Amino acid sequence: MSENTDLSIFGEKLSQGSGILDLMNDLGEAVALRPDMLMLGGGNPAAIPEMQELWRESAKSFVADQVAFDKSLASYDAPQGDPSFLKAFAELFRRRFNLPIDSENVAVVSGAQLGMFCLLNLLAGRTSDGRRKKILIPASPEYVGYADMGVEPDLFVACPAKITYPDPNDLTIFKYAVDFAMVERVAREEDVAAILVSRPTNPSGNVLTREELTKLEELAERVGAWFIIDNAYGGPFPGIIEDAAEMDSVFWGKRTILSYSLSKIGLPGLRTGILVAPPEIIERISAITAIVGLANGSFGQRITKPLFESGRILDASREIVYPYYHKRRANAVECLRDSLKRAGVEAKLHKSEGAFFLWMWLPELKSGSTTLYQQLKERGVLAIPGDNFFYGLDRIQRSEMNPSFDVSRSQMLRISFSAPEQIMERGFRIIAETTAKLLNTETLKR
Ligand SMILES: Cc1ncc(COP(=O)(O)O)c(C=O)c1O
């Protein structure tokens, strides 16, 4: 879109186009116009029959309760959310994970995406005393959906993740880690409002270790920043994470803000997210909700409330969602490796520790993952090129960047494995074949 000087800076910044807009448009278009497209691109969760049954059952009991149903549909909630839902959520987290929270620490938002938009712009940007506060991303690449959220330009300052190899004998599996020397330095040099991580990380499937979380929380405390953990995929719900211990505890510190979502457990259509934070943050988030949306949709809160009250949401995550994705992950890794091997493609995969994406690095690729993405789309497969996940890095000098990290930025593809197994397998085969063809063409051109 071209620049329009009649629009406000806010209007121009938010409407000029973004990676997440392209991604959502591609998804929407593919769903509507190309039903044959193999969808390995978006963030849609898998359709797990037992969970679908649970949602139908929960919706039925809600509809059957005539008084509650009529009241719920015919009235606005308070901007913070339905008080009984907030209470059920806070009590469950207090009872099961010892979180020192109450209803006043919880706010419902119309999807974690909108919640994060409100939160990041609440904390960072220009202040009345002229400072420019930043959101620090300690381990780039990070979720593309944050990239354009800033109402102010340059909201993010990101540090490249360290590329490590968990098994020195197998260089086809890598794992990102926080480069604390660099993060500490950037935190000293910038006015940091908050440190932000998604855990498990979208796109890489990385899960920052508890030690990394503790160090980041300590750093946040030291520099007077907040530490935001986006748990869209994590424990204790929805439970799309490999380490079972993550289902038993919730990380919490003095400066921690937690974000949750009902989307990845199977309800993206209900647009319900939950923020857990100190009351002074919750009050402000609710105040923003009142302005931008009056209140949140109530259906997600109403049909899940009994599950938060009884704790069944945790049992369903542990007993249904967790094993489902555990199995799918193992199959996906094996199937992709197998397809790549058959096609003779050399690739590295990020260690798949959570979320439902494989993050594939093609170290031989010269023409960039966007070229590969276009060719895949032509062949009926939607996967996401990695470039858009590496934002906020302008502040880091190229000379400070590990050369492998630097080149890798245009060699990554994010591939979802939440689609039905046959679609995934066909898609993986096409990805491997298309990549092989592209790499061969590049070799011939040289
Ligand atoms: C890391 C992460 N955070 C937040 C969201 C947004 O979740 P919601 O559907 O609740 O807006 C997503 C969606 O893909 C995500 O991947």
pLDDT beyond 80 at 409: yes
Other Cβ atoms within 10 Å of 245 Cβ, number = 9
Residues 300 and 330 in one domain: no
- Determine, yes or no, domain membership for 4: no
Burial of 152 (0-12, 13-18, 19+ CB in 10 A): middle
pLDDT beyond 80 at 119: yes
Q: Best mutation site among 109, 120, 196, 261 for ligand 1, i.e. most ligand atoms within 8 A of its Cβ?
A: 261
Look at residue 412 in the predicted model and tell me its pLDDT: 98
pLDDT beyond 80 at 21: no
pLDDT beyond 90 at 164: yes
Q: DSSP string spanning 28-50?
A: HHHHHH-TTSEE-SS-PPP--HH
Q: Best mutation site among 27, 116, 202, 257 for ligand 1, i.e. most ligand atoms within 8 A of its Cβ?
A: 202
Residues 24 and 84 in one domain: no
Residues 330 and 252 in one domain: no
Q: How far is the CA of 261 from the centre of ligand 1 (A)?
A: 7
Cα first-last separation, the chain: 35
Q: DSSP string spanning 339-392?
A: HHHHHT---EEE---BTTEEEEE-TT--S-HHHHHHHHHHTTEE-EESGGG--S
pLDDT beyond 80 at 120: yes
pLDDT band at residue 32, thresholds of 50, 70 and 90?
confident
Contact indicator for 16, 391 with CB cutoff of 8 Å: no
> 174-212 pLDDT, tens per residue?
999 999 999 999 999 999 999 999 999 999 999 999 999
- Determine, yes or no, domain membership for 66: no
Count the alpha carbons within 13 Å of 306 in the hemisphere toward its beta carbon: 12
CA distance 295 to 211: 38
Long-range residue pairs from 290-297, CB within 8 A, at least 24 positions apart, any chain: 290/79, 292/114, 292/118, 293/79, 293/110, 293/114, 294/76, 294/79, 295/76, 295/77, 295/78, 295/79, 296/77, 296/79, 296/81, 296/108, 296/109, 296/110, 296/271, 296/272, 297/110, 297/270, 297/271, 297/272
Among 363, 351, 360, smallest CA distance to 416 is for: 360
What total number of domains does the chain contain?
2
Domain containing 400 equals 9-49+322-439
pLDDT band at residue 96, thresholds of 50, 70 and 90?
very high
Mean pLDDT, residues 348-354 taken together? 98
pLDDT beyond 80 at 356: yes
Residues 188 and 93 in one domain: yes
Mean pLDDT, residues 350-356 taken together? 98
CA distance 423 to 38: 6
Do strands 132-140 and 192-198 pair parallel, antiparallel, or not at all (unpaired)?
Answer: parallel
CA distance 210 to 246: 10
Which amino acid appears at position 441 of this protein? Answer: T
Look at residue 35 in the predicted model and tell me its pLDDT: 83
Give the DSSP H or E segment for 109.
strand 106-109
Q: Best mutation site among 23, 228, 263 for ligand 1, i.e. most ligand atoms within 8 A of its Cβ?
A: 263
Query: Model-level pTM?
Result: 0.96
Q: According to the 3-state scheme, what is the secondary structure of 262-304?
A: CCCCCCHHHCCEEEECCHHHHHHHHHHHHHHHCCCCCHHHHHH
Among 124, 119, 114, 107, smallest CA distance to 275 is for: 107
* Higher local confidence (pLDDT), 183 or 9: 183
CA distance 51 to 409: 36
CA distance 208 to 156: 19
Q: How far is the CA of 346 from the centre of ligand 1 (A)?
A: 31
Q: What is the mean pLDDT of the chain?
A: 94
Q: Best mutation site among 143, 199, 260, 274 for ligand 1, i.e. most ligand atoms within 8 A of its Cβ?
A: 143
Residues 140 and 21 in one domain: no
pLDDT beyond 90 at 397: no
- Determine, yes or no, domain membership for 3: no
Share of the chain above pLDDT 90, in %: 87
Name the residue with tokens 């769903």.
31
pLDDT band at residue 395, thresholds of 50, 70 and 90?
confident
Rg of the Cα atoms in the chain: 22
Look at residue 438 in the predicted model and tell me its pLDDT: 96
Least confident of 15-19, 270-274, 314-318: 15-19
Non-local (6+) Cβ contacts of 376 within 8 A are 382, 383, 430, 431, 434
Q: Pick left, alpha or beta for residue 81 (phi over 0 → left; psi -120 to 50 → alpha; otherwise beta).
A: left
Look at residue 42 in the predicted model and tell me its pLDDT: 81
Name the residue with tokens 């062949």.
379
> 253-293 pLDDT, tens per residue?
999 999 999 999 999 999 999 999 999 999 999 999 999 99
Residue whose CA is at the smallest distance from ligand 1 atom 13: 43
Mean pLDDT, residues 27-36 taken together? 80
Residues 92 and 25 in one domain: no
Look at residue 1 in the predicted model and tell me its pLDDT: 60
Among 72, 227, 269, smallest CA distance to 136 is for: 227
pLDDT band at residue 225, thresholds of 50, 70 and 90?
very high
pLDDT beyond 90 at 351: yes
Mean pLDDT, residues 389-410 taken together? 93
Look at residue 2 in the predicted model and tell me its pLDDT: 62
- Determine, yes or no, domain membership for 446: no
pLDDT beyond 90 at 34: no
Domain final residue, candidates 286, 316, 346:
316
Domain final residue, candidates 275, 297, 316:
316
Token pair, residue 80, equals: 């913070």
Domain final residue, candidates 316, 331, 349:
316
> 43-85 pLDDT, tens per residue?
899 999 999 999 999 999 999 999 999 998 999 999 999 999 9
Ligand 1: residues whose CB is within 6 Å?
A: 43, 111-113, 143, 145, 198, 202, 230, 232, 261, 263, 268, 273
Q: Residue 67 to residues 62, 64, 81, 295: CA-CA distances in angstroms?
A: 10, 9, 19, 21
Q: How far is the CA of 439 from the centre of ligand 1 (A)?
A: 33
pLDDT band at residue 396, thresholds of 50, 70 and 90?
confident
Q: How far is the CA of 294 from the centre of ligand 1 (A)?
A: 22
- Determine, yes or no, domain membership for 270: yes
CA distance 277 to 409: 34
Q: How far is the CA of 110 from the centre of ligand 1 (A)?
A: 11
Residues 276 and 130 in one domain: yes
Residues 103 and 124 in one domain: yes
Look at residue 20 in the predicted model and tell me its pLDDT: 72
pLDDT band at residue 14, thresholds of 50, 70 and 90?
confident
